[in-house]
Structures are given as structure tokens and as C-alpha cells.
């Protein structure tokens, strides 16, 4: 036991104050441990963390707490309604406040604090990725603000997804505007990794900026932004209508504002449900409708899909943490994709794109394609190509 608050009652109160009050409901059945996808690649008993939290963290040694990718699979199955992710987040917050969180996460939180993003990107260059596309700035006449996720703004692979999104929105005549680059990380991974104070700073800053501009509706490309703006910002006073690109694109295709007419030449496509889009926000059909709208595209399904989908392993701060290749869930899933004959894996989340691109490299799958559904639609719409 390191230098954590004590006695037990104090820790319990801190967990409850941080949103983990459902901890008391746990009767140690172990369903959560049996559900957790980590057990496909290694032993991980999440029930032990819940038990440790009930005991006021007495005997905490730290190793497994940071494995949780906040995929929510265990929460869906818990017969007692324990909000397991909230409990883990609360415990991480206590550990982080005690100064004993993993070093890699400390560096990421440091970058978010200094630059407003986890990628050590220049905060003044947040919109550099979009400059060549000359999208209009947000004004009071704009219906939507486009909120670029940090990963789509700074990560070279995901920048391509953001650009495809802007081209499609322009081609469809959507009345949207860009924010001015003063936006900061939505704070999802920060909060899930235990950085509650920093999350408070980020959300306060974003809400002040969005409200000053009169933003009511936002388009996001990341399910993590979607979840955070829709479910966590209201508690801080920020209330916005938020739509994920996949949902918006499905509407634009239905209303024939976008027509994917080009024949797909990428072989068979398997769709991976991002946890924060699917399980957390029940968006299962829209991405599939998009893919099915592309001429010649054959859609495959993982054996475990939709609400049973296996996480890519990138949520809850895991994107920035080292995982041995043999323990990467994205590697496991990519092997399954190849085995079923897929030559493209489509998804709808920048974290998933990063995790599967890394898995592709680890497996030396040069000719396999990892793509966001936005990119596949951009390729199929005549007015948008070449991207």
C-alpha cells in the first residue's frame, strides 16, 4: 500500500464522490471478469479491483488497474447494475491524485495540460490539417460547428479521415462552420485515465468557448467526443446536440444529398463496432447502412459484433500505453478479419483506426486496408474523389 488516503471510509467516500457509488451493490459474482475481453489474451480479474475498492484499496499494488479500456462490456452484463467503469475511473482518480499513475499516462496528461491535446501538437496549429480545404468559420448562421477530435487534428493517419469528412460535408451542402482552433481535447481519455481535475479545466474551457460562439449543434468524428459532449458536459452546464459523422452521413445518403456511385474495389469489408459508438451510444445501424450503400461492397460481420463487439483496446488511455503484441485485442481481431476473408476493416473511431493500423503493421499485412467509414464513402462519392 502506498501513500493513499485512509481510513477505508475516506476512500469509499472519495470513490462515491467521483461517481463510483454503485460499488456497494457488488456481490462479487465475477460476471464482469468473465465478460472482460482482456481474458481473450491474458488473465485479468476486474472483480478483484471492485473488491479492492470495497476494501478501501488496502493492499493495492497497481498493476492491473490501468488495463481497463473502459469498453463497457462488463457494465452491460453486471446483474447488480454496478457502474464498473465509473468505479475504475474513480479509483484511478484517487491513485492519480496520490501521484502514482503510470509514467506514460503522466506524459500524455502533461501534453493535454500544456497544449490542449495529447499528441504534443502545437495548440496554435490545431486547424492546420484543414487549411487547404477552406471550410468556412463557424458563425451565428451556421447550423453545426465541426469539432475536430485531437487525434483527427494531429495524428497523420487520422488527419486523412478529418479531411474526407470536410469534403463530404461540403459536397452535401451541410451548413457547418469550423471552430477557430481554440478548442481543446474533449477530455474523455483524460477523465477515464484518472485526470478528473484536468477534465474539469478542459470542459470548462470548451463550454465557455462554445457558448460564447453560440454553438448549439456539433458534428464530431470521434465516438469519444460524442459520448463526452452528450453525456458528461451537461453535468458541467454544456448542453449541445451532437451528431457523429457516421449518423450524419447515413442521413445525407438517405436524403440523397450524397450519392455513393463509384464501385468499391477494396474486396470484402468487415465492420468493427467502436465501443463508444455502439455499446455506449447504440449507434450500430448507421455505419452498416453507409457501407451497404456503396456499390459492390460486400459487408462481413465479426462473430462477436454490435453489443458483443470486442474492444480494439484503445479506450480509457490505453491508446498511449504499451501492450505486448500477443496481448493486443486489435491484433486478435485483425487475425479474425483475415481468416474470414476480409481485405478491409472499416470502423468509425480515430482510436480504433490507430489501434488497427498498429495491428496491421505488427502483422505485416501490407495489402490489408484499415479505413474509417467516412473514407470509404468519400471514395465512393463522385464529387469528392480524389481525396
Residues that bind ligand SF4 (CB under 6 A): 26-32, 35-36, 38, 46-47, 50, 68-74, 78, 80, 82, 84-85
Nearer CB in complex with ligand SF4: 49/161: 49
Nearer CB in complex with ligand SF4: 154/276: 276
Integer-rounded Cα Rg, in Å, for the chain is 21
To ligand SF4, the closest distance from the beta carbon of 73 in angstroms equals 4
Nearer CB in complex with ligand SF4: 19/162: 19
Give the C-alpha distances (Å, rounded to integers) separating 41 from 65, 306, 325, 329, 332.
16, 21, 10, 7, 8
To ligand SF4, the closest distance from the beta carbon of 347 in angstroms equals 17
To ligand SF4, the closest distance from the beta carbon of 87 in angstroms equals 8
Nearer CB in complex with ligand SF4: 31/387: 31
To ligand SF4, the closest distance from the beta carbon of 259 in angstroms equals 39
Nearer CB in complex with ligand SF4: 66/138: 66
Nearer CB in complex with ligand SF4: 57/69: 69
To ligand SF4, the closest distance from the beta carbon of 231 in angstroms equals 16
Nearer CB in complex with ligand SF4: 48/100: 48
To ligand SF4, the closest distance from the beta carbon of 84 in angstroms equals 5
Nearer CB in complex with ligand SF4: 289/327: 327
To ligand SF4, the closest distance from the beta carbon of 67 in angstroms equals 7
3-state secondary structure labels for all residues of the chain: CCCCCCCHHHHHHHHHHHHHHHHHHCCCCCHHHHHCHHHHCCCCCHHHHHHHHHCCCCCCCCHHHHHCCCCCHHHHHCCCCCCHHHHHHHHHHHHHHCCCCCHHHHHHHHHHHHHCCCCCCCHHHCCHHHHHHCCCECCCCCCEEEECCHHHHHCHHHHHHHHHHHHHHHHCCCCEEECCCCCCCCCHHHHHCCCHHHHHHHHHHHHHHHHHHCCCEEEECCHHHHHHHHHHCHHHCCCCEEEEHHHHHHHHHHCCCCCECCCCCCCEEEECCCCCCCCCCCCCHHHHHHHHCCCCCEEEECCCCHHHCCCCCCCCCHHHCCCCHHHCHHHHHHHHHHHCCCCEEEECCHHHHHHHHHHHHHCCCCCCEEEEHHHHHHHHECCCCCC
To ligand SF4, the closest distance from the beta carbon of 72 in angstroms equals 5
Amino acid at each position: 500500500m502506498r501513500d493513499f488516503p485512509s481510513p477505508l471510509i475516506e476512500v469509499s467516500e472519495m470513490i462515491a464522490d467521483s461517481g463510483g457509488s454503485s460499488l456497494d451493490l457488488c456481490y462479487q459474482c465475477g460476471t464482469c471478469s468473465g465478460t472482460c475481453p482482456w481474458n481473450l489474451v491474458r488473465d485479468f480479474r476486474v472483480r478483484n479491483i471492485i473488491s479492492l475498492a470495497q476494501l478501501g484499496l488496502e493492499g493495492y499494488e497497481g498493476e492491473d488497474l490501468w488495463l481497463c479500456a473502459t469498453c463497457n462490456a462488463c457494465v452491460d452484463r453486471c446483474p447488480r447494475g454496478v457502474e464498473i467503469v465509473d468505479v475504475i475511473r474513480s479509483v484511478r482518480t484517487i491513485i492519480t491524485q496520490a501521484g502514482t499513475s503510470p509514467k506514460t499516462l503522466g506524459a500524455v496528461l502533461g501534453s493535454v495540460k500544456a497544449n490542449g491535446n495529447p499528441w504534443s501538437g502545437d495548440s496554435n496549429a490545431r486547424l492546420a490539417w484543414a487549411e487547404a480545404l477552406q471550410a468556412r468559420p463557424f458563425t451565428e448562421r451556421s447550423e453545426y460547428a465541426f469539432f475536430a477530435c485531437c487525434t483527427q487534428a494531429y495524428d497523420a493517419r487520422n488527419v486523412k479521415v478529418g479531411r474526407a469528412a470536410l469534403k463530404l460535408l461540403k459536397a452535401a451542402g451541410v451548413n457547418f462552420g469550423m471552430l477557430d482552433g481554440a478548442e481543446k481535447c474533449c477530455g474523455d481519455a483524460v477523465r477515464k485515465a484518472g485526470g478528473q481535475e484536468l477534465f474539469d479545466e478542459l470542459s470548462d474551457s470548451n463550454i465557455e468557448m462554445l457558448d460564447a460562439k453560440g454553438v448549439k449543434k456539433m458534428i464530431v468524428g470521434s465516438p469519444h467526443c460524442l459520448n463526452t459532449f452528450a453525456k458528461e458536459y451537461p453535468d458541467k452546464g454544456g448542453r449541445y446536440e451532437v451528431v457523429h459523422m457516421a449518423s450524419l452521413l447515413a442521413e445525407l445518403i438517405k436524403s440523397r444529398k450524397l450519392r455513393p456511385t463509384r464501385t468499391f474495389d477494396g474486396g470484402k469489408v468487415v465492420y468493427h463496432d467502436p465501443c463508444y459508438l455502439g455499446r455506449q451510444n447504440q449507434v450500430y445501424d448507421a455505419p452498416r447502412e453507409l457501407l451497404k450503400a456503396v456499390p459492390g461492397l460486400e459487408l462481413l460481420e465479426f462473430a462477436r459484433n454490435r453489443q458483443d463487439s470486442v474492444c480494439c483496446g484503445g479506450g480509457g488511455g490505453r491508446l498511449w500505453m504499451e501492450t505486448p503484441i500477443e496481448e493486443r485485442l486489435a491484433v486478435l481481431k485483425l487475425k479474425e478479419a483475415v481468416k474470414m476473408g476480409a481485405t478491409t476493416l472499416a470502423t468509425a473511431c480515430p482510436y480504433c483506426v490507430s489501434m488497427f493500423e498498429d495491428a496491421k503493421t505488427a502483422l505485416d499485412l501490407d495489402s490489408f486496408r484499415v479505413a474509417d467509414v467516412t473514407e470509404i464513402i468519400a471514395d465512393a462519392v463522385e464529387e469528392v474523389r480524389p481525396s
